[in-house]
């Protein structure tokens, strides 16, 4: 039985816990939050189905006392690093970290290093890996159903299209469909953020604290990625994968189509028992059991962090080309 502890007990942390408690060989035995009301609400929601649940206000105490096999991290975007490092050092076998992995390359580096040096599996919650329609579309692209992928375009609009908060999801998805690591990019930040040289957000709450961005990404295999983010427009998400013999279109509402020879057909994925964040938790446990690999590893998350920081650097260099990976 895997003993699971959740750090950050509101909102997404509840999703982590629901995913864990739906796994036959896992039990939520610990929750940690700085806010007493959040601890009380978490305990009220999960204590009945997880009778061994204990609540903490200090993650260090939780890691010391709870003997955890799996730790999930659902705190603000800029507060993941110390928690992941501490979990790895405390002996956690698996760590499920919210996106973005970190808001600086330095933090992301030490998180990945800690997980690897302590043989902990580190999974990053770029959730589209566990949405059936996105998963099926990526399978079709990788199988050559639209020929060789040549370009991936993402249009990401609305007040929540902040680069670090939600742009991280789509940059990860672009890389996933490209099937390669980025070699360089050129970017422009939202007007009014020209001096935004490092992350100064509030953990992902107020859209005014971080910019949206537009980026042109050249991948090592020659695929081109284009990410268009704009906070000053109505909500919209369109994702297009173009290949030598066809295209795949994914819409915000969840519908997807494949178009070949002028004919468009609906992509109908196989049903999953669980999907989204909960499916990510299931995948981590399967990987710990030796059944499969992680869809989005700590190193994948690190590359996405590098892309976001490269966007800031490109803006600071008069929208110049920035080579990846970034120098250390």
* Whole-number pLDDT of residue 252: 83
Q: Is the pLDDT of residue 302 over 80?
A: yes
Cα distance between residue 324 and residue 150, in whole Å: 19
Q: What is the CATH number of the domain that holds 259?
A: 3.30.360.10
* Whole-number pLDDT of residue 253: 77
Cα distance between residue 79 and residue 203, in whole Å: 7
Q: What is the CATH number of the domain that holds 15?
A: 3.40.50.720
Average pLDDT over residues 262-284: 96
DSSP string over 215-249? EEEEETTS-EEEEEEETTS--EEEEEEEESSEEEE
Please report where in the chains the tokens 């992680």 appear, as a residue: 294
105 and 6, same structural domain?
yes
Domain assignment present for 122? yes
Domain assignment present for 91? yes
285 and 182, same structural domain?
no
Domain assignment present for 328? no
pLDDT digits (tens, 9 = 90+) for 171-224: 999 999 999 999 999 999 999 999 999 999 999 999 999 999 999 999 999 999
Domain assignment present for 286? yes
Domain assignment present for 235? yes
118 and 148, same structural domain?
no
Cα distance between residue 91 and residue 119, in whole Å: 9
pLDDT digits (tens, 9 = 90+) for 48-72: 999 999 999 999 999 999 999 999 9
Q: Of all residues in the chain, what percent are helix, strand and coil, respectively (each to 5)?
A: 35, 25, 40
Domain, as residue range, for 149: 129-270+304-323
190 and 57, same structural domain?
no
284 and 266, same structural domain?
no
Domain assignment present for 112? yes
In contact, 135 and 269? CB cutoff 8 Å: yes
* Whole-number pLDDT of residue 254: 85
Cα dihedral value 43, 49, 54, 55, nearest 10? -20
Q: What percent of the chain clears pLDDT 70, i.e. is strictly above it?
A: 100
227 and 202, same structural domain?
yes
**What pTM was estimated for this model as a whole?**
0.97
Domain assignment present for 181? yes
188 and 222, same structural domain?
yes
Average pLDDT over residues 15-30: 98
In contact, 60 and 37? CB cutoff 8 Å: no
pLDDT digits (tens, 9 = 90+) for 132-143: 999 999 999 999
288 and 197, same structural domain?
no
Domain count, the chain: 2
Average pLDDT over residues 71-81: 98
Average pLDDT of every residue of the chain: 98
Domain assignment present for 88? yes
221 and 83, same structural domain?
no
230 and 156, same structural domain?
yes
pLDDT digits (tens, 9 = 90+) for 100-133: 999 999 999 999 999 999 999 999 999 999 999 9
164 and 78, same structural domain?
no
193 and 311, same structural domain?
yes
């Amino acid at each position: 039985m895997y003993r699971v502890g959740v750090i950050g007990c509101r909102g997404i942390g509840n999703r982590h816990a629901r995913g864990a408690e739906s796994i036959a060989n896992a039990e939520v035995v610990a929750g940690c939050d700085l806010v007493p009301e959040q601890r009380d609400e978490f305990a009220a929601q999960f204590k009945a189905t997880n009778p061994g649940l204990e609540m903490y206000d200090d993650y260090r105490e939780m890691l010391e006392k709870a003997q955890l096999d799996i730790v999930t991290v659902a705190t603000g975007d800029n507060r993941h690093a110390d928690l992941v490092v501490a979990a790895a050092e405390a002996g956690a076998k698996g760590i499920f970290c919210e996106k973005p992995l970190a808001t600086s390359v330095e933090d992301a580096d030490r998180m990945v290093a800690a997980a690897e040096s302590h043989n902990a599996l580190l999974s990053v919650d770029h959730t589209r890996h566990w949405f059936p329609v996105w998963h099926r579309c990526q399978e079709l692209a990788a199988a050559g159903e639209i020929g060789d992928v040549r370009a991936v375009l993402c249009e990401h609009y609305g007040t929540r299209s902040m680069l670090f908060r939600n742009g991280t999801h789509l940059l990860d998805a672009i890389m996933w469909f490209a099937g390669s690591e980025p070699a360089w990019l050129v970017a422009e930040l939202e007007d009014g953020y020209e001096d935004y040289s490092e992350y100064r957000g509030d953990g992902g709450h107020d859209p005014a604290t971080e910019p949206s961005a537009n980026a042109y990404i050249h991948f090592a295999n020659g695929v081109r990625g284009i990410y268009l983010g704009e906070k000053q427009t109505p909500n919209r998400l369109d994702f297009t994968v173009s290949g030598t013999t066809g295209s795949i279109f994914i819409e915000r509402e969840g519908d997807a189509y494949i178009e070949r020879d002028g004919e468009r057909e609906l992509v109908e994925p196989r049903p999953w028992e669980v999907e989204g964040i909960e499916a990510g938790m299931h995948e981590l446990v399967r990987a710990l059991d030796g059944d499969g690999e992680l869809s989005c590893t700590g190193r994948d998350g690190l590359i996405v962090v590098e892309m976001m920081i490269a966007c800031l650097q490109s803006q600071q260099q008069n929208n110049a080309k920035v080579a990846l990976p970034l120098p250390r």
